[in-house]
Amino acid sequence: MSLTPPSSETDAVAFDEVTFAYRRTPLFENLTWRVPAGRFVGLLGPNGSGKTTLLHLAAGLLKPQAGGVSLFGKPIEQYRRRDVGRSTALVPQEAIRPPFAFRVRSVVEMGRYPYQGRFQPISAEDEQLVERCLELVDISPVADVPITELSGGERQRVWLARALAQTPRILLLDEATANLDVRHMVEFYRTVRTLSDEAGLTVVAVIHDLTLAGAVCPYLALLESGRIVAEGTASEVLTAEQLSRLYATPVAVDEDPVLGTPVVRPKYGDPRPIAAELLRAMGRKKSTQP
C-alpha cells in the first residue's frame, strides 16, 4: 500500500514576498523561496532565524501580514482546512504529552481524519495503513497503551506515525527526531528518504545537527535573520567559512570517510580560560585535586 499519493510537477511550497512579524518585530520581510515537489530539504540556521515559523506558515497555522504562501501552485487560503491536512503534515520539535489518555493506535488514526466524513468510522483500508505506520516507527508493541504512559521518545514516534498516516504530499519536520535514539532516528530518516526518492514526498526538515543534515538531506537551505542565504548540496552549503560566519563561532568541516558527506565540528580552542571565568563567576576557586 502506497503511503504517498503522486506529487505535482509544480513547486510543492512557494513563499512569495512573505512578510511576517511577531509583536511588530519583523521576522520575514519580502521572503521569496520555493521548494520543488519531491525535494528533500534540510532547513538550517541559528536559533531565532525563523525556521519553525517558516514551517508553520507552510502548514497554514500562521498567516503572513503580506505576501502569500502557495501549495502546488494554489494559494493556501483557497484550500479548505481538510485539504491542507491532506496535503501537509507537521511534526513538532517537542514530544507533546496530550491531556487525555488516548491509546497510541487512536492517536495515529487521527491522521486519517482529513479523509473521513463527520462521524464516519475508520475504514478497513485506513486500519491497514495505520498498522503499517505503527510498524514503520517501531511503536506497534505499545499500540494499545495510553500515550500518557509513554516516554518522550516514544511519544515522538507516535507523532511521526500519525504524520505518515496522513499520507501527506508535504512532510514538515521541526527537529522531529531530537528525542529519538540513534537506531530509531536512522530508521525514520531512511523511511522518509525512501518515500521522497520513490514516491515523490516533499520534505522540509529543520535539523540543528549540521553533520546529520548533510548525511540525510540531499539538498540544504540556510536561513539567516529571515532570509535564505544559501542553497545547494551539503558540500556546497556546509563550508567552514559560511558556517563560521552564520553561527558566529569557528568551525572546521571534514569529509566522512565512508559517506563522503561533510562532518562539521566546532573549534573549541583551549577551554581552560572559559572554565576559569565560570569558576570566578560562581565565586569558586580552581580545584587542586588531581
Same structural domain for residues 139 and 248? Answer: no
Same structural domain for residues 163 and 266? Answer: no
Q: What is the mean pLDDT of residues 242-271?
A: 89
d(CA 213, CA 43): 8
Task: List, for residues 69-86, the tens digit of each pLDDT value.
Answer: 999 999 999 998 889 988
Same structural domain for residues 284 and 140? Answer: no
Among the candidates 210, 238, 266, a domain finishes at 238
Q: Is position 212 within any domain? A: yes
Task: List, for residues 133-189, the tens digit of each pLDDT value.
Answer: 999 889 999 999 999 888 888 888 899 999 999 999 999 999 998 888 999 999 999
Same structural domain for residues 244 and 230? Answer: no
- Reference 64, options 91, 11, 10, 26; nearest CA is 26
Please provide the DSSP assignment of 7-45 as one string: PPSSEEEEEEEEEEEETTEEEEEEEEEEEETT-EEEEE-
Chain-centroid distance, C-alpha 47 = 14
Q: What is the mean pLDDT of residues 102-123?
A: 86
Q: What is the mean pLDDT of residues 202-222?
A: 95
Chain-centroid distance, C-alpha 32 = 20
Same structural domain for residues 106 and 88? Answer: yes
Average pLDDT of the chain, as a whole number: 88
Among the candidates 199, 216, 238, a domain finishes at 238
Task: List, for residues 23-52, the tens digit of each pLDDT value.
Answer: 878 899 999 999 999 999 999 999 989 999
For residue 98, what pLDDT is reported?
65
Whether 6 shows a pLDDT value over 50: the answer reads no
Q: Is position 2 within any domain? A: no
Same structural domain for residues 38 and 66? Answer: yes
Same structural domain for residues 96 and 183? Answer: yes
Q: What CATH number does residue 207 fall under?
A: 3.40.50.300
Q: Is position 288 within any domain? A: yes
Q: Is position 170 within any domain? A: yes
8 A C-beta contact, residue 167 and residue 126: no
What cell does 53 get?
515559523
Q: Is position 30 within any domain? A: yes
d(CA 51, CA 42): 10
Same structural domain for residues 124 and 188? Answer: yes
Residue 265: half-sphere exposure toward Cβ, Cα within 13 Å? 7
Residue 22: half-sphere exposure toward Cβ, Cα within 13 Å? 10
Same structural domain for residues 78 and 154? Answer: yes
The percent of the chain in helix, strand and coil, each rounded to the nearest 5, is 40, 25, 35
Q: Is position 5 within any domain? A: no
Among the candidates 238, 255, 274, a domain finishes at 238
Whether 96 shows a pLDDT value over 70: the answer reads no
**Burial grade of 225 (CB within 10 A; 0-12, 13-18, 19 or more):** middle
145-156: burial string, b at 16+ Cβ within 10 Å, e else: bebeebeeebbb
Angle at 260 between CA 255 and CA 264, to 5 degrees: 35
Q: Is position 91 within any domain? A: yes
Total tally of structural domains belonging to the chain: 2
For residue 244, what pLDDT is reported?
94
> What is the value of pTM for the model shown?
0.86
Task: List, for residues 271-281, the tens digit of each pLDDT value.
Answer: 677 777 778 88
d(CA 135, CA 81): 28
For residue 268, what pLDDT is reported?
76
> What percent of the chain has a predicted confidence (pLDDT) above 90?
63
Same structural domain for residues 135 and 266? Answer: no
167-194: burial string, b at 16+ Cβ within 10 Å, e else: bbbbbbbbbbbbbbeeebbebbbebbbe
For residue 170, what pLDDT is reported?
96
Domain that holds residue 267: 239-290
Same structural domain for residues 283 and 155? Answer: no
8 A C-beta contact, residue 140 and residue 105: no
Same structural domain for residues 174 and 289? Answer: no
d(CA 242, CA 198): 32
d(CA 114, CA 110): 8
